[in-house]
Structure 1
Protein backbone atom coordinates (compact mmCIF):
# COMPACT_ATOMS: atom_id res chain seq x y z
CA UNK A 1 0.00 0.00 0.00
CA UNK A 2 1.33 3.44 -0.92
CA UNK A 3 2.14 5.91 1.84
CA UNK A 4 -0.80 8.19 0.96
CA UNK A 5 -3.18 5.23 0.91
CA UNK A 6 -1.92 4.14 4.36
CA UNK A 7 -2.43 7.68 5.69
CA UNK A 8 -5.95 7.85 4.25
CA UNK A 9 -6.82 4.46 5.73
CA UNK A 10 -5.52 5.57 9.12
CA UNK A 11 -7.53 8.81 8.90
CA UNK A 12 -10.68 6.85 8.05
CA UNK A 13 -10.12 4.44 10.95
CA UNK A 14 -9.55 7.32 13.35
CA UNK A 15 -12.62 9.23 12.16
CA UNK A 16 -14.74 6.08 12.25
CA UNK A 17 -13.55 5.19 15.74
CA UNK A 18 -14.39 8.66 17.02
CA UNK A 19 -17.75 8.71 15.23
CA UNK A 20 -18.75 5.25 16.44
CA UNK A 21 -17.70 6.10 20.00
CA UNK A 22 -19.69 9.34 20.01
CA UNK A 23 -22.76 8.32 18.02
CA UNK A 24 -22.78 4.54 17.77
CA UNK A 25 -22.19 2.26 14.81
CA UNK A 26 -25.03 3.75 12.75
CA UNK A 27 -22.92 6.64 11.43
CA UNK A 28 -23.08 6.56 7.60
CA UNK A 29 -19.89 5.85 5.65
CA UNK A 30 -20.29 9.14 3.77
CA UNK A 31 -20.23 11.02 7.09
CA UNK A 32 -17.09 9.15 8.13
CA UNK A 33 -15.47 10.13 4.82
CA UNK A 34 -16.34 13.76 5.48
CA UNK A 35 -14.89 13.63 9.00
CA UNK A 36 -11.74 11.96 7.70
CA UNK A 37 -11.33 14.59 5.00
CA UNK A 38 -11.39 12.03 2.19
CA UNK A 39 -13.82 11.19 -0.56
CA UNK A 40 -16.45 8.53 -0.12
CA UNK A 41 -14.69 6.46 -2.79
CA UNK A 42 -11.58 6.30 -0.59
CA UNK A 43 -13.62 4.89 2.28
CA UNK A 44 -15.31 2.32 0.05
CA UNK A 45 -11.96 1.28 -1.51
CA UNK A 46 -10.56 0.43 1.91
CA UNK A 47 -13.81 -0.74 3.50
CA UNK A 48 -16.38 -1.92 0.95
CA UNK A 49 -19.07 -2.40 3.62
CA UNK A 50 -20.00 -0.90 6.97
CA UNK A 51 -19.26 -4.29 8.52
CA UNK A 52 -15.72 -4.22 7.10
CA UNK A 53 -15.16 -0.81 8.67
CA UNK A 54 -16.65 -1.86 12.02
CA UNK A 55 -14.43 -4.95 11.97
CA UNK A 56 -11.34 -2.85 11.17
CA UNK A 57 -12.09 -0.36 13.94
CA UNK A 58 -12.67 -3.17 16.46
CA UNK A 59 -9.48 -4.95 15.39
CA UNK A 60 -7.55 -1.68 15.58
CA UNK A 61 -8.81 -1.14 19.14
CA UNK A 62 -7.70 -4.64 20.11
CA UNK A 63 -4.26 -4.01 18.60
CA UNK A 64 -3.95 -0.81 20.65
CA UNK A 65 -5.01 -2.69 23.80
CA UNK A 66 -2.41 -5.35 23.07
CA UNK A 67 0.30 -2.69 22.66
CA UNK A 68 -0.73 -1.15 25.99
CA UNK A 69 -0.59 -4.59 27.60
CA UNK A 70 2.95 -5.00 26.28
CA UNK A 71 3.85 -1.61 27.77
CA UNK A 72 2.36 -2.69 31.10
CA UNK A 73 4.36 -5.93 30.98
CA UNK A 74 7.53 -3.85 30.59
CA UNK A 75 6.73 -1.79 33.70
CA UNK A 76 8.95 -2.55 36.69
CA UNK A 77 6.15 -2.84 39.28
CA UNK A 78 3.55 -5.43 38.25
CA UNK A 79 0.84 -4.35 40.71
CA UNK A 80 0.36 -0.74 39.61
CA UNK A 81 0.92 -1.79 35.97
CA UNK A 82 -1.88 -4.37 36.26
CA UNK A 83 -4.37 -1.97 37.85
CA UNK A 84 -3.61 0.82 35.38
CA UNK A 85 -4.16 -1.66 32.56
CA UNK A 86 -7.37 -2.91 34.19
CA UNK A 87 -8.71 0.66 34.11
CA UNK A 88 -7.61 0.98 30.47
CA UNK A 89 -9.41 -2.25 29.59
CA UNK A 90 -12.64 -1.14 31.23
CA UNK A 91 -12.63 2.28 29.61
CA UNK A 92 -11.78 0.81 26.18
CA UNK A 93 -14.22 -2.08 26.46
CA UNK A 94 -17.27 0.19 26.42
CA UNK A 95 -16.79 1.19 22.77
CA UNK A 96 -15.43 -2.23 21.84
CA UNK A 97 -18.56 -3.94 23.13
CA UNK A 98 -20.78 -1.64 21.06
CA UNK A 99 -18.76 -2.40 17.93
CA UNK A 100 -18.86 -6.14 18.64
CA UNK A 101 -22.63 -6.00 19.17
CA UNK A 102 -23.08 -4.15 15.87
CA UNK A 103 -21.05 -6.80 14.05
CA UNK A 104 -22.98 -9.60 15.75
CA UNK A 105 -26.27 -8.04 14.61
CA UNK A 106 -24.94 -8.35 11.06
CA UNK A 107 -24.44 -12.09 11.60
CA UNK A 108 -20.67 -11.89 12.03
CA UNK A 109 -19.05 -14.25 14.55
CA UNK A 110 -16.98 -11.66 16.41
CA UNK A 111 -14.88 -14.23 18.26
CA UNK A 112 -13.77 -15.81 14.99
CA UNK A 113 -13.35 -12.47 13.22
CA UNK A 114 -11.04 -11.07 15.92
CA UNK A 115 -9.26 -14.27 16.98
CA UNK A 116 -5.95 -13.30 15.36
CA UNK A 117 -5.70 -10.24 17.62
CA UNK A 118 -7.73 -11.45 20.60
CA UNK A 119 -5.63 -14.54 21.34
CA UNK A 120 -2.34 -12.66 21.93
CA UNK A 121 -4.27 -9.97 23.82
CA UNK A 122 -5.76 -12.55 26.18
CA UNK A 123 -2.30 -14.11 26.65
CA UNK A 124 -0.83 -10.71 27.55
CA UNK A 125 -3.70 -10.08 29.99
CA UNK A 126 -3.01 -13.47 31.55
CA UNK A 127 0.68 -12.67 31.88
CA UNK A 128 -0.09 -9.29 33.48
CA UNK A 129 -2.46 -11.01 35.89
CA UNK A 130 0.06 -13.70 36.80
CA UNK A 131 2.84 -11.16 37.39
CA UNK A 132 0.57 -9.09 39.64
CA UNK A 133 -0.49 -12.21 41.54
CA UNK A 134 3.13 -13.27 42.08
CA UNK A 135 3.87 -9.77 43.39
CA UNK A 136 0.97 -10.14 45.86
CA UNK A 137 -1.01 -7.28 44.31
CA UNK A 138 -3.91 -9.38 42.98
CA UNK A 139 -5.85 -12.21 44.58
CA UNK A 140 -4.55 -15.61 43.53
CA UNK A 141 -8.04 -17.02 42.96
CA UNK A 142 -8.63 -14.83 39.88
CA UNK A 143 -8.21 -16.49 36.48
CA UNK A 144 -8.00 -14.62 33.17
CA UNK A 145 -11.56 -15.64 32.25
CA UNK A 146 -12.82 -14.25 35.57
CA UNK A 147 -10.82 -11.08 34.92
CA UNK A 148 -12.49 -10.72 31.53
CA UNK A 149 -15.92 -11.20 33.14
CA UNK A 150 -15.08 -8.52 35.71
CA UNK A 151 -14.09 -6.11 32.94
CA UNK A 152 -17.47 -6.71 31.30
CA UNK A 153 -19.22 -6.26 34.66
CA UNK A 154 -17.32 -3.02 35.33
CA UNK A 155 -18.30 -1.71 31.89
CA UNK A 156 -21.93 -2.54 32.57
CA UNK A 157 -21.77 -0.83 35.96
CA UNK A 158 -19.99 2.20 34.49
CA UNK A 159 -22.71 2.57 31.86
CA UNK A 160 -25.34 2.93 34.58
CA UNK A 161 -23.73 5.88 36.41
CA UNK A 162 -22.82 9.43 35.49
CA UNK A 163 -19.46 9.97 33.74
CA UNK A 164 -18.12 11.56 36.93
CA UNK A 165 -18.79 8.30 38.81
CA UNK A 166 -17.04 5.99 36.30
CA UNK A 167 -13.58 6.16 37.96
CA UNK A 168 -15.16 5.30 41.30
CA UNK A 169 -16.98 2.30 39.82
CA UNK A 170 -13.78 1.08 38.16
CA UNK A 171 -11.94 1.52 41.46
CA UNK A 172 -14.55 -0.46 43.37
CA UNK A 173 -14.29 -3.39 40.95
CA UNK A 174 -10.49 -3.16 41.03
CA UNK A 175 -10.59 -3.28 44.82
CA UNK A 176 -12.31 -6.65 44.56
CA UNK A 177 -9.25 -7.95 42.73
CA UNK A 178 -6.89 -7.02 45.56
CA UNK A 179 -5.91 -9.62 48.14
CA UNK A 180 -8.08 -9.82 51.22
CA UNK A 181 -6.71 -8.14 54.29
CA UNK A 182 -6.63 -10.40 57.34
CA UNK A 183 -8.89 -9.41 60.23
Structure 2
Protein backbone atom coordinates (compact mmCIF):
# COMPACT_ATOMS: atom_id res chain seq x y z
CA UNK A 1 0.00 0.00 0.00
CA UNK A 2 1.29 3.49 -0.86
CA UNK A 3 2.45 5.61 2.04
CA UNK A 4 0.50 8.71 3.03
CA UNK A 5 2.20 12.07 2.63
CA UNK A 6 1.15 15.46 4.04
CA UNK A 7 0.22 18.29 1.67
CA UNK A 8 1.95 21.68 1.87
CA UNK A 9 -0.98 23.45 3.49
CA UNK A 10 -1.50 20.90 6.25
CA UNK A 11 -4.69 19.51 4.72
CA UNK A 12 -5.64 15.84 4.45
CA UNK A 13 -2.75 13.45 4.05
CA UNK A 14 -2.26 12.11 0.54
CA UNK A 15 -1.08 8.70 -0.60
CA UNK A 16 2.31 8.71 -2.28
CA UNK A 17 0.77 8.02 -5.71
CA UNK A 18 -1.60 10.97 -5.23
CA UNK A 19 1.35 13.18 -4.30
CA UNK A 20 3.13 12.14 -7.50
CA UNK A 21 0.05 13.00 -9.55
CA UNK A 22 -0.22 16.36 -7.83
CA UNK A 23 3.42 17.14 -8.52
CA UNK A 24 3.08 16.13 -12.17
CA UNK A 25 0.05 18.38 -12.54
CA UNK A 26 1.89 21.35 -11.05
CA UNK A 27 4.95 20.75 -13.22
CA UNK A 28 2.81 20.52 -16.36
CA UNK A 29 0.88 23.61 -15.28
CA UNK A 30 4.09 25.61 -14.79
CA UNK A 31 5.34 24.70 -18.26
CA UNK A 32 1.96 25.49 -19.82
CA UNK A 33 1.65 28.82 -18.01
CA UNK A 34 5.08 29.89 -19.26
CA UNK A 35 4.33 28.97 -22.85
CA UNK A 36 0.65 29.84 -23.20
CA UNK A 37 -0.29 32.01 -20.20
CA UNK A 38 -2.52 31.31 -17.19
CA UNK A 39 -5.66 30.81 -19.29
CA UNK A 40 -4.42 27.61 -20.96
CA UNK A 41 -7.20 24.96 -20.89
CA UNK A 42 -6.98 22.76 -17.81
CA UNK A 43 -7.73 19.73 -19.97
CA UNK A 44 -4.42 20.33 -21.78
CA UNK A 45 -2.57 20.51 -18.46
CA UNK A 46 -4.12 17.21 -17.39
CA UNK A 47 -3.12 15.61 -20.68
CA UNK A 48 0.47 16.89 -20.41
CA UNK A 49 0.63 15.62 -16.83
CA UNK A 50 -0.52 12.18 -17.93
CA UNK A 51 -3.58 12.20 -15.68
CA UNK A 52 -7.31 12.31 -16.27
CA UNK A 53 -9.40 15.44 -15.91
CA UNK A 54 -11.05 14.01 -12.80
CA UNK A 55 -7.65 13.60 -11.14
CA UNK A 56 -6.74 17.22 -11.85
CA UNK A 57 -10.03 18.55 -10.49
CA UNK A 58 -9.77 16.31 -7.43
CA UNK A 59 -6.55 18.10 -6.51
CA UNK A 60 -7.44 21.55 -7.86
CA UNK A 61 -11.17 22.28 -8.09
CA UNK A 62 -10.62 25.43 -10.15
CA UNK A 63 -7.98 27.36 -12.05
CA UNK A 64 -7.38 29.78 -9.18
CA UNK A 65 -6.42 27.02 -6.75
CA UNK A 66 -3.98 25.56 -9.29
CA UNK A 67 -2.37 28.93 -10.04
CA UNK A 68 -2.04 29.69 -6.34
CA UNK A 69 -0.37 26.35 -5.60
CA UNK A 70 2.07 26.77 -8.50
CA UNK A 71 3.06 30.21 -7.18
CA UNK A 72 3.39 28.99 -3.58
CA UNK A 73 5.47 25.99 -4.58
CA UNK A 74 7.71 28.12 -6.77
CA UNK A 75 8.39 30.65 -4.02
CA UNK A 76 9.03 27.88 -1.49
CA UNK A 77 11.51 26.20 -3.83
CA UNK A 78 13.35 29.45 -4.54
CA UNK A 79 13.54 30.24 -0.81
CA UNK A 80 14.98 26.78 -0.15
CA UNK A 81 17.58 27.34 -2.88
CA UNK A 82 18.61 30.65 -1.30
CA UNK A 83 18.94 29.04 2.14
CA UNK A 84 20.94 26.12 0.72
CA UNK A 85 23.29 28.46 -1.14
CA UNK A 86 23.85 30.46 2.05
CA UNK A 87 24.61 27.33 4.07
CA UNK A 88 26.63 25.34 1.55
CA UNK A 89 28.74 27.83 -0.43
CA UNK A 90 31.65 29.39 1.52
CA UNK A 91 32.05 32.45 -0.72
CA UNK A 92 29.27 35.03 -0.41
CA UNK A 93 29.20 36.18 -4.03
CA UNK A 94 29.46 32.63 -5.34
CA UNK A 95 26.48 31.76 -3.14
CA UNK A 96 24.53 34.67 -4.62
CA UNK A 97 25.40 33.55 -8.14
CA UNK A 98 24.31 29.99 -7.40
CA UNK A 99 20.99 31.25 -6.08
CA UNK A 100 20.36 33.45 -9.14
CA UNK A 101 21.16 30.68 -11.60
CA UNK A 102 19.00 28.17 -9.73
CA UNK A 103 16.12 30.67 -9.52
CA UNK A 104 16.37 31.04 -13.30
CA UNK A 105 16.25 27.25 -13.69
CA UNK A 106 13.06 27.23 -11.63
CA UNK A 107 11.59 29.67 -14.17
CA UNK A 108 10.75 32.26 -11.52
CA UNK A 109 11.25 35.12 -13.95
CA UNK A 110 8.97 33.59 -16.54
CA UNK A 111 6.22 32.35 -14.23
CA UNK A 112 5.74 35.09 -11.65
CA UNK A 113 4.88 37.94 -14.05
CA UNK A 114 2.18 35.96 -15.85
CA UNK A 115 0.66 34.52 -12.68
CA UNK A 116 0.92 37.36 -10.16
CA UNK A 117 -2.19 39.20 -11.35
CA UNK A 118 -4.19 35.98 -11.04
CA UNK A 119 -3.37 35.52 -7.36
CA UNK A 120 -4.91 37.32 -4.40
CA UNK A 121 -2.01 39.47 -3.21
CA UNK A 122 -3.50 39.68 0.31
CA UNK A 123 -3.81 35.91 0.72
CA UNK A 124 -1.99 35.01 3.98
CA UNK A 125 -0.14 32.07 2.40
CA UNK A 126 1.02 34.19 -0.52
CA UNK A 127 2.18 36.96 1.82
CA UNK A 128 4.05 34.50 4.06
CA UNK A 129 5.79 32.83 1.11
CA UNK A 130 6.76 36.18 -0.40
CA UNK A 131 8.07 37.51 2.90
CA UNK A 132 10.14 34.37 3.42
CA UNK A 133 11.63 34.66 -0.06
CA UNK A 134 12.44 38.33 0.35
CA UNK A 135 14.04 37.71 3.76
CA UNK A 136 16.28 34.79 2.79
CA UNK A 137 17.37 36.37 -0.49
CA UNK A 138 18.05 39.72 1.15
CA UNK A 139 20.13 37.95 3.81
CA UNK A 140 22.14 36.36 1.03
CA UNK A 141 22.72 39.71 -0.65
CA UNK A 142 23.62 41.37 2.65
CA UNK A 143 26.25 38.69 3.22
CA UNK A 144 27.76 39.41 -0.19
CA UNK A 145 27.62 43.12 0.55
CA UNK A 146 29.35 42.75 3.92
CA UNK A 147 32.09 40.74 2.24
CA UNK A 148 32.77 43.72 -0.01
CA UNK A 149 31.85 41.82 -3.18
CA UNK A 150 28.39 43.26 -3.90
CA UNK A 151 27.86 46.89 -4.85
CA UNK A 152 25.91 48.97 -2.34
CA UNK A 153 23.26 50.42 -4.64
CA UNK A 154 21.31 47.27 -5.59
CA UNK A 155 18.52 45.37 -3.87
CA UNK A 156 16.69 42.09 -4.20
CA UNK A 157 14.05 43.70 -6.39
CA UNK A 158 16.78 44.46 -8.92
CA UNK A 159 17.60 40.75 -9.09
CA UNK A 160 13.93 39.87 -9.57
CA UNK A 161 13.60 42.40 -12.39
CA UNK A 162 16.67 40.95 -14.10
CA UNK A 163 15.35 37.39 -13.76
CA UNK A 164 12.00 38.52 -15.15
CA UNK A 165 13.55 40.21 -18.16
CA UNK A 166 16.13 37.54 -18.95
CA UNK A 167 14.16 34.35 -18.30
CA UNK A 168 10.93 35.13 -20.16
CA UNK A 169 10.45 33.87 -23.73
CA UNK A 170 11.03 36.53 -26.36
CA UNK A 171 8.06 37.34 -28.65
CA UNK A 172 7.90 34.84 -31.48
CA UNK A 173 10.34 32.38 -29.89
CA UNK A 174 9.93 29.18 -27.91
CA UNK A 175 11.01 28.60 -24.34
CA UNK A 176 13.85 26.32 -25.38
CA UNK A 177 15.44 29.07 -27.45
CA UNK A 178 15.55 31.68 -24.69
CA UNK A 179 16.88 29.18 -22.14
CA UNK A 180 19.96 28.72 -24.32
CA UNK A 181 20.96 32.30 -23.52
CA UNK A 182 19.64 32.82 -19.98
CA UNK A 183 22.78 31.73 -18.09
CA UNK A 184 25.03 33.71 -20.42
CA UNK A 185 23.08 36.92 -19.93
CA UNK A 186 22.65 36.34 -16.20
CA UNK A 187 26.43 36.05 -15.87
CA UNK A 188 26.79 39.44 -17.58
CA UNK A 189 24.23 40.85 -15.14
CA UNK A 190 25.97 39.30 -12.11
CA UNK A 191 29.31 40.71 -13.20
CA UNK A 192 27.63 44.11 -13.10
CA UNK A 193 26.67 43.55 -9.45
CA UNK A 194 30.25 43.10 -8.31
CA UNK A 195 32.00 45.66 -6.18
CA UNK A 196 33.75 47.92 -6.77
CA UNK A 197 31.18 49.28 -9.20
CA UNK A 198 32.30 51.04 -12.35
CA UNK A 199 29.26 53.29 -12.62
CA UNK A 200 26.66 55.06 -10.54
CA UNK A 201 23.11 53.81 -10.88
CA UNK A 202 20.23 56.24 -11.35
CA UNK A 203 17.20 56.02 -9.08
CA UNK A 204 17.06 53.73 -6.07
CA UNK A 205 17.21 50.00 -5.52
CA UNK A 206 13.94 48.22 -6.27
CA UNK A 207 12.06 46.57 -3.43
CA UNK A 208 9.29 44.00 -3.38
CA UNK A 209 6.89 46.83 -2.49
CA UNK A 210 7.95 48.65 -5.65
CA UNK A 211 7.26 45.56 -7.71
CA UNK A 212 3.92 44.92 -6.01
CA UNK A 213 2.79 48.48 -6.71
CA UNK A 214 3.03 47.82 -10.45
CA UNK A 215 0.58 44.89 -10.25
CA UNK A 216 -3.11 45.71 -9.94
CA UNK A 217 -4.83 44.22 -6.91
CA UNK A 218 -6.79 41.11 -7.81
CA UNK A 219 -8.81 38.70 -5.75
CA UNK A 220 -9.45 35.20 -6.87
Both structures adopt the same fold (TM-score exceeding 0.5) = yes
Gaps of 5+ in 1: none
Q: Distance in 2 between matches of 1:19 and 1:39?
A: 16
Aligned length: 175
Length-normalised TM-score, structure 2:
0.69
2:121 aligns with: 109
1:54 aligns with: 67
Q: Distance in 1 between matches of 2:141 and 2:19?
A: 35
Length-normalised TM-score, structure 1:
0.81
Pairing 1:26-41 to 2, within 5 Å after superposition: 26-41=39-54
Is 1:86 aligned to residue 86 of structure 2?
Answer: no
Gaps of 5+ in 2: 1-13, 172-176, 199-220
Q: Which of the two has greater helix per residue? A: 1
SS in structure 2 at match of 1:82: helix
1:41-91 deviation digits (Å, cap 9, x = unpaired): 111111111111111111111111011111111111111111222233355
Q: Distance in 2 between matches of 1:135 and 1:2?
A: 46
1:65 pairs, out of 39, 61, 78, with 78
Any conservation in 2 of the 1:86–1:151 contact (CA below 8 Å)?
A: no
Offset of residue 112 of structure 1: 5.3
Deviates more, 1:91-100 or 1:9-18: 91-100
